[in-house]
């Protein structure tokens, strides 16, 4: 049973930085894709950034240039550095993982961590 546990959320002032971490446990392999989604109040969960085990990163247009996703494959851990935060970045940030074992696809979600940007 793979579990993703996020940490690092909280209250931050406009323009401030924040760093989120997500550690995966229970996987026998390096999780192929890891990433972050955000669910703002009253909205659907949306992609923020993903990164493959090879280090290829993908970002939502709204965060490009402000957020940076990195990972440590040996620890199956993914990080999200959030800079120049805006009030619209407020939401619950969920860690995401996807891997393929044989022909089967597995997707995992963390419990979420709240990020609140105050103006």
Tell me the average pLDDT of the chain. 95
pLDDT tens profile 65-81: 999 999 999 999 999 99
Q: Please name which of 62, 2, 6, 66 lies closest in space to residue 32, comparing C-alpha atoms.
A: 2
Q: What is the rounded distance in angstroms from the CA atom of residue 83 to the CA atom of residue 117?
A: 11
Per-position b or e across 43-67, b if 16+ CB within 10 A of its CB: eebeebbbbbeeeeeebeeebeeeb
pLDDT tens profile 35-47: 999 999 999 999 9
Q: What is the rounded distance in angstroms from the CA atom of residue 118 to the CA atom of residue 90?
A: 9
């Amino acid at each position: 049973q793979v579990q993703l546990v996020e940490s690092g959320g909280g209250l931050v002032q406009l323009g401030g930085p924040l760093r989120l971490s997500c550690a995966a446990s229970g996987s026998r392999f390096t999780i192929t894709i890891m990433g972050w989604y955000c669910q703002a109040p009253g909205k659907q969960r949306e992609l923020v950034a993903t990164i493959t085990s090879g280090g290829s990163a993908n970002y939502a247009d709204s965060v490009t240039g402000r957020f940076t996703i990195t990972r440590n494959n040996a620890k199956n851990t993914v990080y999200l550095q959030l800079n120049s935060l805006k009030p619209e970045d407020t939401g619950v940030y969920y860690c995401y993982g996807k891997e393929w074992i044989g022909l089967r696809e597995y997707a995992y979600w963390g419990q979420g961590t709240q990020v609140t940007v105050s103006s």
